[in-house]
Structure 1
Amino acid sequence: MIFHGARAIIGGYNISLKRGQYSVSSIWVQNGPPTQLNSIQAGIGFHPSIYGDSQLRLIGHWTADGHLKTGCYTHACPGFVQVNPNKKFALGAVQSPVSPIGTQDKWVLIVKIKQDQFTGHWWLIVEKEEIRVGYWPKTLFTHLSNGASLIRFGGETYAPPNMDNPPMGTGRLPQEGFKYSGFMGLLDIIDSKYNEIEVKRSEIKKYSDANSKCYDLRYTGYQGTQYRQAFLYGGPGGSSCGI
């Protein structure tokens, strides 16, 4: 199956990270075998090693060879073409105000990655107004130049070997419910005919590579008209997340 993009609404929160750690909540579009993996990632997250702080920012990442020689976050290497002059909608821009943990009111950002039907470029589009931030040129990629074979929604963290794994989402587990956990909703994919359609529950697969006390995922299907297909995710991290 071929996809030409995806969209989601992502809740944003304040969490604290150290240099060397990162924690992101995003959409991935991918194609190709592991050593030739073409991947684009876009969403929101924290990356103190790049920005020197723990502020929530608009993030993007790409690779054309499974991170062997190509790829980077935001503008750390050539690739992404920024077209929107508004600094609020630039890769790396601080996103605010974020949501207080423990409230039903959520600060959210709508994020879409969409391949242009005519140029083949992959666009980063945000908010209800469909603001075009910029694009990753088709020429960066081999397998993604004709579309994606896999769409992923969720969170990702990293810490070096001498450091605990950082929090993800709100830093609370999804079992604590919507008021306390990170969430993503309005999950859509852009199909082979460039139609934007809601994901089907039967086609969603849960995946986690960490101890469930560190991070977890809770997906129970349709959540009503406000968030439609949605899930809760995240957790506090810790020292034994890969066990």
Structure 2
Amino acid sequence: MYRLSLLRRAIALCFFYHALQTIGVRFFPTIQEENDSLAKDFVHGPAKQNLKSLKSNSTELITSGGSSLWDDPYFVSHLTHSGGPNDNYYGLHATMDVYGHELKHGQLSSTTFWINHAGDGKKSSYNAIQVGWHINPERYGDSHPHFYTRWTRDNYDATGCYNMDCPGYIRVDGAIIAPGDAIHPVSNVPDGPRQSITLRVLKDKRSGDWWVYYGFNKIPTGVGYFPRSLFSYLAEKADGMQFGAFVQAKKALPTPPMGSGALPNGGKGRAASFKNIRFIDQDGNSSPIKEDLPMFVTDRKCHSITHIDHAECFYGGPGGCMR
């Protein structure tokens, strides 16, 4: 059972990469407190072909002028088991700090939720929703943090888009924010006031739609939803969830700051955080995550994330990494 659990985590990591659509994927994570030999064996076995077949789209970029200009991203995240018959998830909730950094064109930094379903195991059946905030000068022409969404039902092959670039996400009347809107004010670093957003993504039991709730320094309210009809497998449930952050840069540029720009060992006063992290059940009831989840860290010298303790964790890093 223990090795089966590890195998499911390895599968989740593979689909984690599928969701981000990276280029020339390298799979060298550090899975904390685990024997990662099974994950490595898995990647060099059946998953190897899937990784090779990934499209050469860059992670979040629309106007990059060619994904070959971009280096592989750096990730930190906590993730659930994924793809098993008992892996049933219906929502995720957390409060996260929001920071501003002066990024160059050719750099991006994102803090996000991933809600996904592995489908039938084929890459083309992967369903996903992504909600969070990011700084992406290539997309917006500025260095402000923006609230954003993304979705797909076929691993970003022919369906899905960011924000409201295509039919999909439906903004409700009177919503306080729309995908793509800038978030302000932002947290001051290293020790100034914290500004935070609370995000909740949940599957409505009656309609089957995936609702997005957003609150700036307050309780979140419904701001929009992804209709059930957009999806195949996510129309029924998610079989995996992740939350964390990633950064990416064009080749020859260093990675930008992640979170506040401080590593978690900088202490609570400096590192970015996820707080009040909760799972939401099929009936819409939420419960704090009391047990630690597996971690995914690309390179802890550059960026890291802590264990979950009392439904919170800390993450981030200064950037400056180059491959």
- TM-score between the two structures when normalised by the length of structure 2: 0.67
> C-alpha distance in 2, partners of 1:162/1:98?
29
Q: From the superposition, tell whether residues 121 and 220 of structure 1 become closer, same or farther in structure 2 (CA, over 3 Å).
A: closer
> Does the alignment pair 1:161 with 2:251?
yes
What SS is found at the alignment partner of 2:200? strand
Kindly state the Cα deviation for residue 194 of structure 1 after the two structures are TM-superposed: 3.1
Structure 1 or 2: more helix by fraction? 2
Q: From the superposition, tell whether residues 105 and 67 of structure 1 become closer, same or farther in structure 2 (CA, over 3 Å).
A: same
Asked if structure 2 preserves the Cα contact closer than 8 Å seen for 1:211 and 1:240, the reply is no
Equivalent residue for 2:189? 101
In structure 2, stretches of 5+ residues that fail to align are 1-86
Amino acid at match of 1:185: K
Q: From the superposition, tell whether residues 84 and 161 of structure 1 become closer, same or farther in structure 2 (CA, over 3 Å).
A: farther
Asked if structure 1 preserves the Cα contact closer than 8 Å seen for 2:252 and 2:322, the reply is no
Given candidates 1, 5, 8, the residue that maps to 2:94 is 8
Q: From the superposition, tell whether residues 19 and 85 of structure 1 become closer, same or farther in structure 2 (CA, over 3 Å).
A: farther
Over residues 32-70 of structure 1, what are the superposed CA-to-partner deviations in whole Å (9 max), with x where a residue is unaligned? 144422111112221212211011111111121222222
- TM-score between the two structures when normalised by the length of structure 1: 0.88
In structure 1, stretches of 5+ residues that fail to align are 223-228
Q: From the superposition, tell whether residues 198 and 220 of structure 1 become closer, same or farther in structure 2 (CA, over 3 Å).
A: closer
What SS is found at the alignment partner of 2:309? strand
Amino acid at match of 2:243: F
Equivalent residue for 1:144? 234
Kindly state the Cα deviation for residue 18 of structure 1 after the two structures are TM-superposed: 2.0
> Does the alignment pair 1:238 with 2:320?
yes
Q: Percent identity?
A: 30
Equivalent residue for 1:74? 163
Alignment RMSD (CA, Å): 1.8
Asked if structure 2 preserves the Cα contact closer than 8 Å seen for 1:104 and 1:178, the reply is no
Given candidates 100, 103, 113, the residue that maps to 1:27 is 113
Amino acid at match of 2:132: G
Kindly state the Cα deviation for residue 185 of structure 1 after the two structures are TM-superposed: 0.8
Q: Which moved more, 1:6-15 or 1:60-69?
A: 60-69
Kindly state the Cα deviation for residue 104 of structure 1 after the two structures are TM-superposed: 6.2
| Correspondence 1:196-211 to 2 at 5 A | 196-202=286-292, 204-208=293-297, 210-211=298-299
What SS is found at the alignment partner of 2:296? coil
Equivalent residue for 2:280? 190
Structure 1 or 2: more strand by fraction? 1
Kindly state the Cα deviation for residue 28 of structure 1 after the two structures are TM-superposed: 1.4
Asked if structure 2 preserves the Cα contact closer than 8 Å seen for 1:84 and 1:132, the reply is no
